[in-house]
Amino acid sequence: MGTPDHRHRVVVIGSGFGGLFSTQALRRDEVDVTLIARTSHHLFQPLLYQVATGILSEGEIAPSTREVLARQKNARVVLGEVTAIDLQARTVTHETMGRVTVTPYDTLIVAAGAGQSYFGNDQFARYAPGMKSIDDALELRGRIFGSFELAELASAPAETDRLMTFVVVGAGPTGVEMAGQIAELAHRTLKRDFRTIDPKTARIILLDAAPTVLGSFGRKLGGRARRRLEKMGVEVRLGAKVVDVDPTGIEVEHPDGTRNRIESVCKVWAAGVSASPLGASLANQSGAGLDRSGRIEVLDDLTLPGHPEVFVVGDMISLRDLPGVAQVAIQGGRYAAEQIRRRLAGTEPKGPFEYVDKGSMATISRFSAVASVGRVQFSGFIAWILWLAVHLVYIIGFKHRVTTLLHWSVSFLGRGRAERVVTEQQVFARQAIEALGERFQPHLPRVPEDRADNGTGQG
């Protein structure tokens, strides 16, 4: 496939599980890999909720992609946002802070992932951030800790109440983990930190339009997770569809058509995903189908119809109901690398992509999780130990594993949380909290010209 003047060029879009693992799988092959990603870090997304709730630092779940791939000589990392893919010309156009570059490929692996979906109500995003990026997690960290800070100063009981009511939308693994962690934070970590409010009285509400918690884990584990959450003080409300979100509350509709409003300043959206818009572009050019989440219908071997040189892996694909989990992306990335290797060697291609379900798990609190491995289901402490082991192994880079284990010891065995810093850059947190009512006058976000005053004053 390569032309005589250069090695086979593989371009990988995305530094998530699919992009990183396909690149690493090509480390011994006679190819030149260019990995183009919008952030300079790989993100261990399953632990984002721990950054949001002050347990881990950003660096612990987001190692530098460049550092991870430093010793892989045939890989080059480029920071940039892909703005176009041209299937005819076989080029990828990407932009880095205004600079536009066009990179040609012989084989393309698209692993651009998925973002949060608000099901057509994008205006909700401002008041209920998603949980997809480090920025999201730091934003939520600012809102969660900021709500307690403001509640400590609130004078009216109604104001205290809405500041101490946290709503998590979506009872999948991310929503369950967030609700559980906010409950632990309020009822345990912050127990002694305030003088006016009692954080133990905080309300944590987990909403879902579906009738079950952790639907994909089956009825039995979902029921256990629900009971455990309720024991921790989380109010679980199912069959509750969100119809409106504003600065100080959220409105839900029940199956019988009744609506009610929950007064809450800090809302978290963990309810839906929408594949990268690059999927739509690929579909347009190739004629492949697109499902309602924007995921592209790929062939059995993860290639685009009519374009065997283009693989799509991870959250962007719609294939035999594969779930949007890390393992699908990792295995897909490795499968694509193996196919490229066989093509270059001229050997028989692998058969259709077969996903090996290694199981799924979700933590509910420290020492308690649910896990489903094949037909075996675990819950409680055993599931939690399993969760701990699996997550430690997958966190990339030995050094992160050790510091992470330490931060976990602090959080699970002790009461503290080491990573509670909120910077002034969490302007959205301030805006959301400022929108509390008339008494809260808008406080303008810092503008660049203001930076001279930055450090003057207490701190």
Confirm whether 309 is a catalytic residue.
no
CA distance 163 to 428: 16
Map the footprint of a copy of itself across residues 54-93, applying CB under 8 A: 54, 57-60, 62-64, 66-67, 70-71, 76-82
Is residue 399 part of the contact set for a copy of itself (CB under 8 A)?
Answer: yes
Could you tell me which stretch among 212-220, 232-240, 370-378, 419-427 binds a copy of itself (CB under 8 A)? 419-427
Among 21, 49, 145, 387, binds a copy of itself (CB under 8 A): 145
CA distance 124 to 246: 7
Map the footprint of a copy of itself across residues 379-398, applying CB under 8 A: 397
Q: Which two tokens stand for residue 445?
A: 């976000």
Residue 282's contacts (CB-CB under 8 Å, 6 or more residues apart) are 85, 87, 110, 288, 296, 304, 310, 312
Residue 249's contacts (CB-CB under 8 Å, 6 or more residues apart) are 162, 261, 262, 263, 264
Q: How is residue 314 annotated by DSSP?
A: G
Beta carbon nearer to a copy of itself, 70 or 345: 70
CA distance 459 to 441: 23
Is residue 15 part of the contact set for a copy of itself (CB under 8 A)?
Answer: yes
Q: How far is the CB of 62 from a copy of itself (least distance, A)?
A: 5
Among 2, 91, 93, 149, binds a copy of itself (CB under 8 A): 149
Residue showing tokens 């690398």: 337
Q: Which two tokens stand for residue 303?
A: 């290639």
Q: How is residue 54 annotated by DSSP?
A: T
Is residue 134 part of the contact set for a copy of itself (CB under 8 A)?
Answer: yes
- Helix (H), strand (E) at residue 83: strand 81-86
Could you tell me which stretch among 227-235, 255-263, 325-333, 409-417 binds a copy of itself (CB under 8 A)? 409-417
Q: How is residue 64 annotated by DSSP?
A: B
Could you tell me which stretch among 7-15, 211-219, 245-253, 300-308 binds a copy of itself (CB under 8 A)? 7-15
Size of interface with a copy of itself, in residues (CB under 8 A): 116
Beta carbon nearer to a copy of itself, 48 or 221: 48
Map the footprint of a copy of itself across residues 199-258, applying CB under 8 A: none
Q: How far is the CB of 387 from a copy of itself (least distance, A)?
A: 21
Is residue 188 part of the contact set for a copy of itself (CB under 8 A)?
Answer: no
In sequence order, which ranges of 56-170 are alpha helices (DSSP H)? Answer: 58-61, 65-68, 134-153, 157-163
Beta carbon nearer to a copy of itself, 115 or 180: 115
Given 60, 139, 159, 177, the catalytic residue:
177
CA distance 149 to 318: 44
Q: Which two tokens stand for residue 81?
A: 């946002």
Q: How far is the CB of 223 from a copy of itself (least distance, A)?
A: 30
Catalytic residues: 177
